[in-house]
Amino acid sequence: MTAPAGASSLRLATRASQLALAQTDLAATALGRVADGPIDTLVVRTSGDRQADVPLDHLEGQGWFTSELERALLDGAAQVAVHSAKDLPTEPANGLVVAAYLPRADARDGTVTRDGRPLAELPPGAIIGTGSLRRMAFLNGLYPDLAPKAIRGNVDTRLRKLAEGSVDALVLACAGLDRLGLASQLAERLDPSLFVPAPAQGAIALECAAGTPAQAWCEAVGDPETTAAVSAERAALTGLGGGCLLPFGAWARVAEGKLVLTAALATDDGIRHVRLEGPVDDPVSLGLAVAEALR
């Protein structure tokens, strides 16, 4: 995929993980159908990657997996940043715009266990590894006999920890395993109406400087249905004033001509679920309505 950089080349900024590179390949393939000139990549190491052993709730600020990619756009080192959409802060940096979302993969969370058993069949006290506060909170609420444990690392690192016996199971995004060709390792795909995925999970976001040719190229490859769903989910997150550390899930999909949004928020009193629907062409209003209902 890599080509010599030049005045007419389109450079994509990406993280270094196998999943990030696989997602960047998908973005390059899509953009290659509309962009002029060659496409190459710029691999960027983010603060979240540099501090892979630090729990997310101990990291300062936000944008741990996106800020350095955005800096590459602002500095002109790249024209498009390829993100896992769920990593994006609720607002882009000044001068930048999320121009498109590629067609979404499976938004659900899934489990990987050493013996293939689903969560409901694991013994009490089984250790479930995850780096997400949302997943930990939902595990506590839906599977109270299990023991969530905070772990960090890329997919391959987490799978190695499972194999080594550090945990008895993992909860991971199905989309990541699917894109890495590891779907066969899934013991189950969790019901998204109960174990509600993270906002924008499974979607790839293309971010660029506003008003540039790159924005037009990105918009040309965006998927309208994914854009509507993710916009509703992110609006709900914004309406709650939350970010990556909020134990909140949101899952939108188009059904029978309507946009249906299911959301869940873990509180001290348990997990609160809300399901609303609205017009496909006004996803932000639907997301804000769900946030208001949850409050």
In tens digits, what is the pLDDT along the chain, a chain of 295 residues?
333 334 457 999 999 999 999 999 999 999 999 988 899 999 998 755 554 454 444 434 445 568 899 999 999 999 999 999 998 888 778 899 999 999 999 999 999 999 999 999 999 999 999 989 999 999 999 999 999 999 978 899 999 999 999 999 999 999 999 999 999 999 999 999 999 999 999 999 999 999 999 999 999 999 999 999 999 999 999 999 876 678 999 999 999 999 999 999 999 889 999 999 999 999 999 999 999 999 8
How far is residue 196's CA from residue 59's CA, in Å, rounded to a whole number?
Answer: 24
Domain that holds residue 62: 10-105+199-294
**99 and 126 housed in the same domain:** no
Encoded tokens for 208:
């660029």
**182 and 130 housed in the same domain:** yes
Q: Which of 25, 36, 53, 87 is catalytic?
A: 87
**114 and 96 housed in the same domain:** no
Please give the tally of structural domains in the chain. 2
**280 and 242 housed in the same domain:** yes
In a domain, 1, yes or no: no
Domain boundary, last residue among 159, 189, 219: 189
Write down the pTM of the prediction. Answer: 0.89
Q: Going along the chain, which residue ranges are E strands?
A: 10-14, 39-43, 80-84, 96-101, 109-113, 127-130, 147-150, 169-173, 188-189, 204-209, 248-255, 258-267, 270-279
Would residue 223 show up in a list of annotated catalytic residues for this protein?
no
Answer yes or no: are the C-beta atoms of 171 and 92 closer than 8 Å: no
**62 and 165 housed in the same domain:** no
First to last CA, the chain: 46
**205 and 278 housed in the same domain:** yes
